[in-house]
Structures are given as C-alpha cells and as structure tokens.
Structure 1
Amino acid sequence: MLLADDFFLIAHDDRDGKSRLSQRAVELGLAGALLGELVLEQRILCEGARLRVINREPPSDPLAHTNLATMVAETQHREIRTWLLFLGQTAVDAVGQRMARHGLVEQTTVRRLLRSSTRWVATDINLPTGRVVRLRRLLTGSEPMRVADATLAGLIEATGLTGHVLWDTDQSSYRRLQQAITTLPPPLRDLILQVESAVGEAVLSQRG
C-alpha cells in the first residue's frame, strides 16, 4: 500500500467515501503523502521549507513518475508549500484513479439539489477500517514502526485525523506517536511540519 493510498483510505468514510476532514485538509494531506512517496523513493529531498530533486530516475508508479517529471521541469519552484498547493489541486482524483486501477475503490457520483460531486468508495468495506486498525495497532503496541508507517502517522497527526485512529487510547499512544514523528529522518520530518503548517493556515482562512 503506497503512502498516499493509505492516507486516502483513512481520511474517507469506509461506507460512502465522504471525507473525514475539510476538503482542503484532505488535499494538503494527500499532496504531502505524494511528496512523501518521492522522499521514500529517494527521488527528492526536503530541507526545511524547500525541496530539491536528487534522482531523476522515474519511479515505477505512474503517478509518482508524473509528479517527479513535473518537478524536474519546474526546478525554479523549490518551496514545499508551493508543491503542496499545486499537487493538492488534483490529489484526490489522482490518487482515487490510481487506487481504482488496482480495484481498491470505485468512482461514484453524489447528486444534490444544485450540484453533484465525485467520491471514491472502497470496493471492500473492510479495507479502510483495516488500515486504521493496522496503524492503531502500531501506535498502541511495542513493535518497531517502519519509516513509511511513521510518516503516515505524522501526516495523520498533521491533518487532524489522530482522533479517528486513537479514539479511546491512553496518553502513552499519543507519546508513541510523537516519538515516531520526532525520530523520522529530517527530510520527512520537515515535510510533515510543512503539511501541518499549511493545514493550520487553511483552517484559519476558512474561519476568517
């Protein structure tokens, strides 16, 4: 399960595909996960608020390949925030389409009085719940977390989804979550901080 796919499943309701967050928070979280995939593949490096391409070899995943090619073509844009906003514009549909190609979700149209919207609903209702339970088990247990799992946990925290994963646990699980984030490699930790900051600004602008 790729990082953005995992985040997508946790961020949407298992029955109807409705977002558990504001649309902007989901977009930014998914964009951060897509950048995280490239960091994990050692194609880009996040340094503070900026990023740079360190390996132009195309990743095997077509979506990651497209995102990397765009970054290579736009090397003048190095701010992580710029890429979060850019990728966030299409992240929901891009990740949804990627998952649909693997049979994990299917596209549905929700019709309302004056407009309709697209949702991506899991083909197996147990899949999103299973991803939540898996992450919850890692955060409440003692087994070591892989870097990708700790990155997912960091994105969950940065976007405000922690309560959905750790809904009735004690403080030790939250401490384990924070420890997992702080022990991440600096490029991934910097990425999560940028996602958290972008989501925070989005929330404030919506309230304003």
Structure 2
Amino acid sequence: MKLLMIEDNTSVAEMMAMFFQKEKWEVVNAYDGEEGLAKFKEAPDSFDIITLDLNLPKMDGMQVAKEIRKISQTVPLIMLTARDTESDQVLGLELGADDYVTKPFSPITLIARIKALHRRAEVGAEVGAEQTTSEPPDGFDVETDHFKLSTKTREAYLDGKQIEGLTPKEFDLLHTLSKSPKQVFSREQLLQ
C-alpha cells in the first residue's frame, strides 16, 4: 500500500512513518499543503490512501482536501489534526474526508482505521470493475419510487441513474438518512 502523509510536524511524521513502514507500507511525506497537493497531482492514481493535517503552512489542509477531491473522489482521505471542534469535523467530512482523527491519537488505532478504509475502497473498486451495466442491481436495502440503494454493491440510484462519485462517508450518510427518512439525526450521530 502506498500512503501520502501530509504533515508539517516532522516528529509526528517520522513517528507515523515508522509505524507505517512496519506494516510494509510505502510512505511519501509532504511537509506543507502545497507540497502535498503537488505530490498528489504528480501521480493521483498511485496513492492508496492520504492522511492530511489541517494546520499546514503554505496551504491549509481544508483547501488541500478540496483540491484533492476535484482530482479524485475515490482515494481514501483521513484528516489527522489537532482541530477537534465539531464544526471542523463536520466541515472536514463535508469536504470529502472519509475519516477524521484528532490529535493526540493512538498510532495502532490509526493503522486500524487506515486498513478499514483501504479494505472498503478495494471492495468498491472490485464491485465497480465487475459491474458491466448501469442498470440497478437486484436486492436493494432502500427502495422508493425514485430512489434505490444497495449496501452490497455500495451503489445508489436516483430515477434509474446511478449516483457516481460518492465517497465512502457520503454513501454511509446517504444510507443512514434514506433508511430512516422521517428521523432527525444530530451531527454527532451522523459523524459516527
């Protein structure tokens, strides 16, 4: 697995690189937002996952996330930051982060989260490669006159057309909201 780590704190970057290398992962480091975005733009399809700090020099992590999502909707992105307010977490997820981890964090837990995101991304890619038709699959978890959603294939359809480009978190939110359309959820419930 190849990981792009955009982190300006060299001690955090070096510590995490040691943990990642023990997992036999290739780590590409960037120490500011512009450098991180440039490295991603050089080879956007070469990275399996990105960890992104928000408090970066030269370009803020939120802006980096926006730019990354303009290039790729599918690369798993974990925001790893000291910003721990609910509004920062919501904004990060709305900008396309698949997970949001606040500092201080457990390296072992972060590795488990990375593995889980990578596993889901691989399954999604395999399902997408196997899908040869744009027709909705049978066996939906949520089905109305105009909307259908399958957690098995991680696909959603609106008026018979597949909704493309959903991040894993966006799909999970769509599933949660669509299976309970009259229920009100707090932000905290949606972030879980």
Q: Structure 2 length normalisation: TM-score? A: 0.28
Higher relative contact order (CA 8 A, sep 6+): 1
Judging by fraction of residues, say which structure has more strand.
Answer: 2
Judging by fraction of residues, say which structure has more helix.
Answer: 1
Please tell me whether Structure 1 or Structure 2 has the larger radius of gyration of its CA atoms: 2
